Structure 1
Amino acid sequence: MTKYSIAENFNQYFKIRFADTKTLRQEAFKIRYGVYSSELGWEPENDQEMEFDECDDYAYHCLLEHRRTGVFAGCIRLIIPPPYAPDTKLPFEANCLQSANKEVFDTTTLPRGSFGEISRLAVLASFRRREKEKNIPFVLNNVNPETIYSEDERRNFPNIAIGLYLGGIALASLLKHQGMVVMMEPRLNRRLKRFGLPFQQIGEPMDYHGQRAMFYLAEKDFHKELTEPLEELYTIIHKDMVEQMKLVKYGKDSAFNIPDVDLSSHF
């Protein structure tokens, strides 16, 4: 029996999708609604059964598709200031700068458009294994076995969240970003470090659906410290993203790029 690597096995069952159409973005909003509104109650319910906010007007979304069924297992977004309004604040700038430790790292020194914020990572409940994990937005370890999925497929479910993170990082890399900011729990950061993603804490913990803090990942650390199996997975995801994206100049004389995608309408 052929023994596949983590990356090869994961790639057999899942594919990263760049949400370059209204339909695909709505799939991300539906996943977010299922997790953040219906399941967690963090966001209000609505008749459209989609969770979205003003940041989605200048955010780029990735989905993870289960190849055999075509079901989208999870989503993540990268928010960047739009070229027509480069001074637009990212969520952490609008809500969390008071907790920033500028002696560690000062994001205000970065050129606008050269960095973004990763947020709204969510994984469908059907792709999570353990009962006690049904009320958290994603997991990095273990998915309810009472599903239509085979045992081989379910072995890959623990990697869904890290696959989405790698998709967001690949997107930031293709956009030539200097770094990215994430609001997350310190314990999640410790897990990501074990995978080779050395996010640096740049803010004091604050209470927002639990203790969360600002973390920054510089471009030099996007994937160079990944463990060997995850570096292989990142290479596959990065290649998939390259094949799906068209890039245009961020500004008249800028070196930064943004995807050539119409984000003006979600519906």
Structure 2
Amino acid sequence: MSLFDRFNLGAGFSKYFKIEAAATDAVRDEVYRVRHEVYCEELKFEPERPDRRETDAYDAHSLHCLLRGAQAPHPSVGCIRLVLPAPDALAAPLPFETTCAHTIDRRIIDPAKLDRTRIAEVSRLAVRAAYRRRKGEQNVAVALQDEDYEEVGRQPRFPYIPIGLYLGSVALAARNNVDTLFVLTEPRLASHFSKLGVEIKQIGGPVEHRGTRVPSMMDVQSIIKGLRFMVKPIWRVIHEQIEASAPPR
């Protein structure tokens, strides 16, 4: 019997974590501090900043999620952002369009020709070191492994943190009328996501960006409709929490 069949993943997520849209300056400040801790202080991907906040020009037109511990004092665990095209410069490239300018296969899809108001890029996924205890995670912002979907002895395991953050970004995308998500990530992400019922399509060749990464795309509504039956409870919990914490429409 698989982990999916034995456990309610929604209840499991709620027991340990809660997720929220970064709808206030205070929550966004927590996001930037998590990013600085992971990207600047631990992994040295970015230079350290005097104010200990990791930000860039894309944050001005991005949406953010913050994952916390479910129990008081609700410590920050990790974060993720959704980069939208700038409203006053829709044609300006998203980060992956610059990084992968020469590797995107435009016969598959040309992001420049899409309705730019309905696309976004998932990026800046970061998890604090205290929650990255598994083998192979020390030098990456977060990781997924094949064993995450199995049982180890009598103990089930499920990658609540990365999957929770990815689903949080999907909930934000759906809420903001985004149809297509792009992501620059490790080549094996597709095989991990397929276990959840999520189809992710590679749209270009690999690039060197903090390791080997490939540009990929996902359809937001197809993700929501295609989630495996036993994954739907965690999606419902995350969707409800994002809706409850996001600003009024």
Q: Hey, what does 1:46 align to over in structure 2?
A: 49
Could you tell me which amino acid in structure 2 is paired with residue 54 of structure 1?
A: A
Q: Hey, what does 1:262 align to over in structure 2?
A: none
Kept in 1: contact 2:201–2:216 (CA 8 A): yes
1:221 match: secondary structure: helix
In 1, Cα distance between equivalents of 2:88 and 2:174: 22
1:64 match: secondary structure: strand
Tell me how large the CA RMSD over aligned residues is.
2.1
Q: How many residues align?
A: 236
**Cα offset, 1:4, TM superposition:** 5.6
In 1, Cα distance between equivalents of 2:190 and 2:52: 31
**Cα offset, 1:240, TM superposition:** 1.5
Per-residue CA shift, 1:52-79, capped at 9, x if unaligned?
1110111110011102131010000001
Q: Hey, what does 1:214 align to over in structure 2?
A: 215
Worse-matched range after superposition: 125-134 or 58-67: 125-134
**Cα offset, 1:5, TM superposition:** 1.1
**Cα offset, 1:133, TM superposition:** 1.8
Q: Hey, what does 1:171 align to over in structure 2?
A: 172
In 1, Cα distance between equivalents of 2:214 and 2:7: 37
In 1, Cα distance between equivalents of 2:214 and 2:96: 10
Q: Hey, what does 2:189 align to over in structure 1?
A: 188
Per-residue CA shift, 1:83-132, capped at 9, x if unaligned?
23323321112232221101122222211211100000011111122254
Alignment of 1:73-112 (within 5 A): 73-112=77-116
In 2, Cα distance between equivalents of 1:67 and 1:159: 12
In 1, Cα distance between equivalents of 2:11 and 2:31: 25
Worse-matched range after superposition: 130-139 or 105-114: 130-139
Runs of 4+ in 1 over 4 A off after TM superposition: 154-157
**Cα offset, 1:156, TM superposition:** 7.0
In 2, Cα distance between equivalents of 1:157 and 1:20: 28
Alignment of 1:10-89 (within 5 A): 10-68=13-71, 69-89=73-93
TM-score (norm 1): 0.82
Q: Which blocks of at least 5 consecutive residues in structure 2 are unaligned?
A: 1-5, 148-154
In 2, Cα distance between equivalents of 1:199 and 1:7: 23
Gap change, CA 1:39 and 1:130, over 3 Å in 2 = same
In 1, Cα distance between equivalents of 2:158 and 2:54: 23
**Cα offset, 1:170, TM superposition:** 0.8
Gap change, CA 1:247 and 1:100, over 3 Å in 2 = farther
Q: Which blocks of at least 5 consecutive residues in structure 1 are unaligned?
A: 143-153, 249-267
**Cα offset, 1:197, TM superposition:** 1.7
Could you tell me which amino acid in structure 1 is paired with residue 163 of structure 2?
A: I
> Sequence identity, in percent?
34
Could you tell me which amino acid in structure 2 is paired with residue 140 of structure 1?
A: L
Structure 2 residue aligned with 1:129, among 127, 133, 136?
133
Q: Hey, what does 2:201 align to over in structure 1?
A: 200
In 2, Cα distance between equivalents of 1:156 and 1:10: 12
Per-residue CA shift, 1:196-254, capped at 9, x if unaligned?
22110001111111111110001332222222222211111111222222355xxxxxx
Kept in 2: contact 1:170–1:237 (CA 8 A): yes
TM-score (norm 2): 0.87
In 2, Cα distance between equivalents of 1:53 and 1:166: 23
Establish whether residue 139 from structure 1 lines up as the match of residue 143 from structure 2.
yes
In 2, Cα distance between equivalents of 1:244 and 1:212: 32
Q: Hey, what does 1:242 align to over in structure 2?
A: 243
In 1, Cα distance between equivalents of 2:106 and 2:133: 40
Kept in 2: contact 1:182–1:216 (CA 8 A): yes
In 2, Cα distance between equivalents of 1:12 and 1:4: 12
**Cα offset, 1:35, TM superposition:** 1.2
